Amino acid sequence: MQILHSKILGKGQPLVILHGFLGMSDNWKTLGSKYAENGFEVHLIDQRNHGKSFHSEEFNYDVLSNDVITYMEHHNVESAMVMGHSMGGKTAMQMATSHPKKVTKLIVADIAPKYYPPHHDFIFNGLSHLDFNTISDRREADDELAKHIKDRGIRQFLLKNLYWVEKERLGFRFNFDVLKNRMEEIGENIFPSAVYNGPTLFLRGDRSEYIQPNDYDEIKRHFPIAIIETIDKAGHWLHAENPKQFFEKSDAFLNS
């Protein structure tokens, strides 16, 4: 049995945080520390094929959800508040609807319970041009990536995944081949009949297109008592673009 890698911060009520596609637990370290200071035992998790967690050919939301259940059982966490961003939000939704007794509260950051067509091609195209036989440091990797991905923020986010595989040889922490071949899975929806009746908060970025007003009925169908709130001056990476407001709204919900 393989257990997901995590960083555990603080003491108190368990709060599980799930990163998005091509992300890792480190993306949430700053906010995770703030929740920990406010009385939560924060579990910053690397999902399979990401960060320091195990690699596997199997990759879908049912499997990702069960990974977290197995992780909680391993760490003797009976139930937890669960927060997920983007892909992590889909994992969290799947988990809450499949194992409602394990999830006391749910926060979903900038993703709706619907199908999204694959849209990461340009990222994988850029990443596929990184030749680690010739690239010797992060600056060179960024220079090469910049030819294909103009947005510096996206490049910095992706480059966090570089690490020294061995002396003087860089590589990706994420499972490049499996994730590239499973892009269709990333956009999949949770089960059509899935319902979670527990307290739920959806946070959307006001500059993001991921959650639109016409998605609200679908959200309420799966999560009948969901609250939907907007984070100002933020796109899809709303927790990084407006961390202050993201923390205030999420922390108020967790403590309500």
Strand partners, 225: none
pLDDT reading at 118 higher than 90:
no
Cα–Cα distance for residue pair 111/200, rounded to 1 Å: 13
Catalytic residue numbers read 86, 177, 236
CATH architecture label of 6-115+188-254: 3-Layer(aba) Sandwich (3.40)
Taking each helix axis from N to C terminus, what angle separates 29-37 and 243-254, rounded to the nearest 10 degrees?
40
**Domain residue spans of the chain:** 6-115+188-254, 121-181
Residue 65 predicted with pLDDT over 90: yes
pTM > 0.85: yes or no: yes
Confidence of residue 81 (pLDDT cuts 50, 70, 90): very high
pLDDT tens for residues 134-192?
Answer: 998 999 999 999 999 998 888 998 999 999 988 888 999 999 999 999 888 889 998 88
Q: Which residue has the higher pLDDT, 120 or 132?
A: 132
